[in-house]
């Protein structure tokens, strides 16, 4: 057995955590997204890739919350991967009302003015074969997230000087990349983490339809399986949040019609109501005890005014037996949500029993000597086996605490 791993969030991330919790219903700049560019034990000198602004986007009205141009980071493919494209949609929560979107537009999640000029490419974005065995020499693109509605909104609020143009950003970016060679792709993978993982689900069939039928096109959602679940107070914190996002940002017009024909728009922002209808092969990678969902949907401070869940929320080892039972119930809900989806041979699954969030972009969880496994298969190999049809992958872990390969997140 590999040694049990625990990953501790820094004091800086904890400050973000506290800020997020004090104002959860109003701001969704998730503390967990601060892990996105965290240093990896494996890759001390990651490839740094510069930001490209999409200069044709402005004329299309495809702009960030503050009206600035959107952008992406692109590392060119070579050799056998020169005509293969991986599009990674950045995550980073949502904004659900004017106040939080105004706050957001003063950050990298709402303005390219605040985006890093270059970012590290690790995990599924790494250029090293020993770190990313199947996609290392592909064209790898990270599309930056600056709209606050998982690349689906199309509206504006002139009084607050807010542009909700996620759908236009998505289309402008795809058009720009097509002009730079993606139209010649012989294979493509749309992926994303967290809010970007949700976006990968929402845009999956749209992405497929941009290519000829003989192009291999598939989608990967990492930590994007956000459940419409009851929180510890009996309320529905995340449904309330999503209702605000969908209503404020004009999302309903860009949701899959096969869902909105029979469900309300907010329900159609939840992946559990979408995944069985997606025609394109889709891989769902998710921790059964998703750290973000525990922190912000299941047991947020707003649903726990007396702080009974405070310690458990920060460290699963401090959960009481009754709290663990509640979390086991959440895992069962997740497994029930994917039952129909799992029946399709073309789809893939990797649901590990870890307290984690976003495992494809971090080198330590994607592919390393001690990365998480299910039945001796790490995430990178599972995704590659599924993408290239080397093997069917429907990997569902036994319940906590059986998995000793997890890189569990602990906050303090």
Q: Which residues are identified as catalytic?
A: 194, 290, 357
* Strand arrangement of the beta sheet that strand 348-352 belongs to: 118-121, 47-53, 71-75, 139-143, 84-89, 187-193, 216-222, 282-287, 348-352, 394-396
Residues 191/89, Cβ–Cβ less than 8 Å? yes
Q: What is the token pair recorded at 391?
A: 């093997």
| DSSP code, position 70 | P
Nearest Cα residue to 192 out of 105, 285, 121, 265: 285
Pairing of strands 162-164, 155-157: antiparallel
Phi, psi of 52 (to 5 degrees): -110, 120
Residues 283/347, Cβ–Cβ less than 8 Å? yes
Query: Hey, how many other C-beta atoms are within 10 angstroms of the C-beta on 53?
Result: 15
Beta strands (DSSP E) in 174-277 are 187-193, 216-222
Q: What is the token pair recorded at 156?
A: 């504006």
Beta strands (DSSP E) in 99-253 are 118-121, 139-143, 155-157, 162-164, 187-193, 216-222
| Residue position matching structure tokens 């309330």 | 240
Residue 231 and residue 110: Cα distance in Å, rounded? 28
Residue 202 and residue 196: Cα distance in Å, rounded? 10
| DSSP code, position 26 | T
| Residue position matching structure tokens 């056998």 | 80
């Amino acid at each position: 057995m590999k040694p049990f791993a625990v990953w501790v969030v820094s004091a800086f991330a904890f400050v973000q955590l506290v800020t997020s919790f004090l104002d959860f219903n109003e701001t969704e700049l998730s503390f967990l997204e601060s892990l996105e560019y965290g240093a990896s034990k494996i890759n001390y000198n990651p490839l740094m890739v510069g930001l490209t602004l999409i200069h044709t986007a402005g004329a299309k009205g495809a702009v960030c919350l503050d009206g600035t141009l959107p952008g992406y980071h692109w590392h060119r493919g070579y050799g056998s991967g020169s005509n293969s494209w991986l599009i990674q949609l950045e995550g980073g929560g949502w904004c659900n009302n004017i106040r939080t979107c105004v706050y957001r537009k003063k950050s990298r999640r709402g303005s390219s003015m605040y985006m890093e000029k270059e970012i590290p490419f690790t995990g599924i974005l790494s250029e090293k074969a020993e770190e990313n065995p199947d996609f290392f020499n592909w064209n790898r693109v990270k599309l930056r997230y600056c709209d606050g509605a998982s690349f689906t909104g199309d509206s504006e609020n002139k009084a607050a000087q807010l542009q909700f143009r996620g759908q236009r950003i998505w289309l402008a970016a795809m058009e720009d990349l097509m002009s730079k060679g993606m139209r010649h792709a012989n294979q493509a993978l749309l992926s994303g983490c967290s809010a970007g993982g949700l976006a990968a689900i929402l845009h999956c069939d749209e992405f497929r339809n941009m290519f000829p039928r003989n192009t291999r096109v598939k989608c990967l959602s990492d930590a994007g399986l956000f459940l419409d679940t009851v929180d510890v107070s009996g309320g529905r914190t995340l449904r309330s949040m999503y209702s605000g996002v969908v209503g404020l940002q004009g999302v309903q017009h860009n949701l899959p019609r096969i869902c909105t024909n029979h469900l309300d728009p907010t329900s159609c922002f939840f992946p559990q109501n979408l995944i069985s209808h997606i025609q394109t092969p889709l891989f769902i990678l998710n921790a059964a005890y998703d750290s973000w969902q525990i922190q912000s949907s299941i047991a947020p401070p707003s649903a726990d005014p007396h702080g009974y869940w405070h310690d458990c929320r920060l460290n699963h080892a401090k959960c009481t037996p009754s709290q663990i039972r509640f979390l086991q119930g959440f895992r069962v809900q997740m497994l029930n949500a994917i039952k129909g989806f799992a029946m399709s041979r073309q789809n893939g699954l990797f649901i590990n029993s870890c307290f984690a969030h976003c495992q494809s972009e971090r080198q330590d969880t994607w592919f390393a000597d001690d990365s998480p496994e299910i039945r001796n298969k790490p995430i990178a190999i599972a995704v590659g086996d599924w993408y290239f049809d080397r093997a069917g992958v429907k990997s569902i872990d036994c319940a906590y605490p059986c998995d000793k390969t997890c890189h569990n997140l602990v906050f303090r």
